[in-house]
Structure 1
Amino acid sequence: MAFGSNYVRFQTKFLIGWAIVGFVPAMGLFIDEMISPSGSFNGIGDLLGNAIAIIPGMVIFGGFCLLIDGLFCHQGRFSQVTHPEWFWYVYPVFFVWSLTLTFLLGFLGIKSSSSSRSSPSIKPEAVKKEVDNMTIDEFLKKFDQPIKQLEKQGKLNHEQQKVIRKLRKVDRSDYDQLLQEICNDNELEEIYKLFIQCVMLLGRMVS
């Protein structure tokens, strides 16, 4: 059997491969019963019984996988369900394996991405440096929406409310001033806290 990369659609000849895939576990059960110390081996009848139960079951299971592949993976376009020829022969096993692997990788990737956005790492020294180098205009433009949202939610303390009112009352011609030029140390401390609140809120909004 050539392990080429040519993609083909389902063909009835692949059912032979599915039957063989089912025969393997049937033989495994037969051997297990034959060597089992419990004495459950009942001769050739066990082999035939396992084969009759598992082989057709594997073929039916392969058909079920094909149905899932067409309906969900290709949005009902069964003509687009193609795989390498070697893959079709072992389709019932490899389809479930590839589907499970894809699901797990996707789930872990989404979970990791969501966690990194909703819980941003914020270092105090970085916040201080950022705020100390921001102008009034930059601060108000960057955090106008999250500040308004925090105000509506009642999450600004009294001192933060006073600082925001002070910044909004500054004449627009002076918006190019740095925050540290117009705010005292206590006011800057409140802005540092507000900066972190806004960044965390934006992180949750993005996620």
Structure 2
Amino acid sequence: MSVAGVDWPEPGGAAEVIPLARGVALPSHVEVSDGTDLLVRLVLAEYAEKLKVQPGHRVEVLWGGPTGGRSLPAEVTEVRSDPELRWVLQITGPAEASQRRQSVRARVELPVVARCGTVLITGQTVDLSEAGARVWFDGWGLQPPPGTPIDVTLELGDGTFNAAGEVVRVEPRGPRWLISMKFPELTEQEQDRLRRRVFEALRLERLRQAD
């Protein structure tokens, strides 16, 4: 027997929609799902519109199921702008477990101020997603072990962004440390701010590649 949340994403939940011809994961909210069709509202409509997805395009849908990540194949059957961007998707195959990372990551250099314990440090991001970042810092004292709290302030371009982070790993590179960190407690609004900055970086990268 098919089960909502396992065999297809539940209404009211979050999902990532990946147009296979574009290879970019787009955050969305599932508004309707019945095991045959999905109606999703794209969170970053301005960026999604630039991808020019049309009926007939194939996509992959990813979501968090009760026991881990799930994914299923689908096809776009309708694109609506009324006024928010929505896609109607027809499910074309069975769902399966997915280990694919759902966070979209982009290479972007942003100034960072961080506090790790009693130490105040400055650095620069290497890449960024709504789930975390990798940041160059000048090394100090003992390397912080995984799980160490690290509070960061990023300059996103539309203002400062504060996040309570957590060290995932530290990679020493001479006198510098490349620290991977995650942001486990962001609100949906805070994640959307980071996504907008990430998608802006991806858009600029595509323009550079097209020149």
- TM-score w.r.t. the length of structure 2 is 0.23
- TM-score w.r.t. the length of structure 1 is 0.23
Higher relative contact order (CA 8 A, sep 6+): 1
